[in-house]
Amino acid sequence: MKNEVLALLVHDGTDLFDGLEKHLLNIQAETCHARNCSEAMAALREAPLPNFIFTSVALRDGTWADVLDIANMNGKRVPVIVVSRVVDMQLYLQTLERGAFDFIVPPISQVELGYVVRTAAWKSSAQPATVVRLLFGFIREFCSPFCLSLLQEHQAALKPTASVSWSRARVTAR
């Protein structure tokens, strides 16, 4: 059975995305790749449309801002998550102000990535059943008994209305 959650990874083949792709596959998200903005545009013209896009800061034929523009072409609003090698607060704020869904700096923990992915899938065109399946895949793969107890303890802080600010707060705390 084909996965219902699809992530487009736009990068030039650097090792920055190796761990990210492994984590995505472990939580039942299918991945496809584009090496530059042109390939990303071609991928977004084909069905199915990805639920979210992870992009490098710089590509051979553009930047994260170009990928964001491509993701929003023709009324499509695919959440874009910018992946950087370094913590750069100015770039972080610039990406969010411009409309990126999130900004991450690997290595990102499995819990943090799962949270970003679930929230991005929820905000994309994914059906609720798909998001629930992704959530259970994430819990099954990554949550230890300790992690599950922490999630239960802090359940109120993880409400969907607080999701984006919680995710962004984790990035700024690094």
Query: Which domains, and CATH codes, for the chain?
Result: 6-172 (3.40.50.2300)
Q: What is the pLDDT of residues 134-158, one digit of tens each?
A: 555 555 555 556 655 655 665 555 4
- Residue 31 carries which DSSP code? E
Sheet of strand 80-83: strand arrangement: 30-34, 6-10, 52-56, 80-83, 102-104
User: Does residue 5 carry a pLDDT above 60?
Assistant: yes
Percent of the residues in the chain that have a pLDDT greater than 70, as a whole number:
67
Least confident of 101-110, 111-120, 146-155: 146-155
Say how far apart CA 87 and CA 102 lie, in whole Å.
13
Write the pLDDT tens digit of every residue in 7-45: 899 998 878 888 888 888 887 788 899 999 999 999 988
